[in-house]
Structure 1
Amino acid sequence: MSATVSAYLARPGRPAVVAPTLAELTGPRTGIVELPVRLMWCGERAFDLADPDELLWMYENVLRETSRVDDLRELIHAGTLRRVWPLLNLPRGVRLAWEARHRSLRAA
């Protein structure tokens, strides 16, 4: 199954990428996650998911920067995404794209 690339933009020239289903988001819920350079190009790319601020920062970066649904599947966990969705600071295009595809996030 391929990603849904929406008409919404993550930033100018980059469409927001949305997972077709939330069920396929099986990323880690605990531990330290190191993002690939393509998603986080500054020096510190490791995030401790036990730290609420680091978890939010990691999710914001992945949702904003990815161009591949595999990144979403590997790094984002559906239950965690639902829980933190209202707290995420996302570009308007990313939020609208995800909420258009996954109405349950809108209610979160």
Structure 2
Amino acid sequence: MASQLSAAGVQPTADTPGKIDTVYDDPSSIASLLRARYKKRLPSSLDELTGPEHGTVEPPLHIVWSGLRILDLDLPRQRMSLYRTVLAEGLRDDLCRFLNRDILLDLWPVLHKLISRAAKDVWEEAFPELRPRLPLGRSPAQHARGRDPRHERVPAPSAGGRVRP
């Protein structure tokens, strides 16, 4: 928890060195800080995302500081890795330079499961076209809980062969 707070820029208070201000001990406050961080980096429109569709890219060190440094957009795993990392670490200019609107829309159904909740929520609030569409036959509440009525458990029959209510 303390390392997460340090990464978010939260320091111990002056009157209690070594103790973190209790406002920041609340996970929702950390989430608020992260959401604000992602929100200020957003482009004003997905049309600003004019990054390459093919070829190799070498993101700057503030985005990718270890591991594979040159990524091939024609390889699905490397493309997904680039988009995930740029969404998490990139600044506004990086988002516009390395991400492509059409590719982001294509990757989003999987990509949104690989990024932080804060980043996902901020992007989907800003750009409704990224929000998942509800499958037929599902209510918004079922979708939010991840339940599909077609896969609901049917009660097992009792010893007498009748289904218990």
How does the TM-score come out when normalised to structure 2?
0.56
Equivalent pairs counted in the alignment come to 98
Aligned-pair CA distance for 1:60: 0.3
Q: Distance in 2 between matches of 1:78 and 1:43?
A: 26
Which consecutive residues of structure 2, in runs of 5 or more, have no partner in the other structure?
1-31, 134-165
Q: Distance in 2 between matches of 1:65 and 1:71?
A: 9
Supply the AA of the counterpart residue of 1:93: A
Aligned-pair CA distance for 1:8: 6.1
Q: Distance in 1 between matches of 2:49 and 2:103?
A: 10
Question: Is residue 83 of structure 1 aligned with residue 98 of structure 2?
Answer: no
- Which residue of 80, 85, 97 corresponds with 1:74? 97
User: Between Structure 1 and Structure 2, which shows a larger proportion of strand residues?
Assistant: 1
**Residue 105 of structure 1 corresponds to which residue in structure 2?**
130
Structure 1 consecutive aligned stretches of length 4 or more whose deviation exceeds 6 Å? none
5 Å-filtered alignment, 1:1-108, equals 7=32, 9=34, 15-16=37-38, 17-66=41-90, 68-88=91-111, 89-107=114-132
Q: Distance in 1 between matches of 2:121 and 2:108?
A: 12
Deviations 1:15-48 (A, max 9, x none): 1132110001000000001110000100421111
RMSD of aligned alpha carbons: 1.6
- Structure index of larger Rg: 2
Aligned-pair CA distance for 1:107: 3.0
Which consecutive residues of structure 1, in runs of 5 or more, have no partner in the other structure?
1-6
Aligned-pair CA distance for 1:53: 0.5
Higher RCO, 1 or 2 (CA under 8 Å, sep at least 6)?
Answer: 1
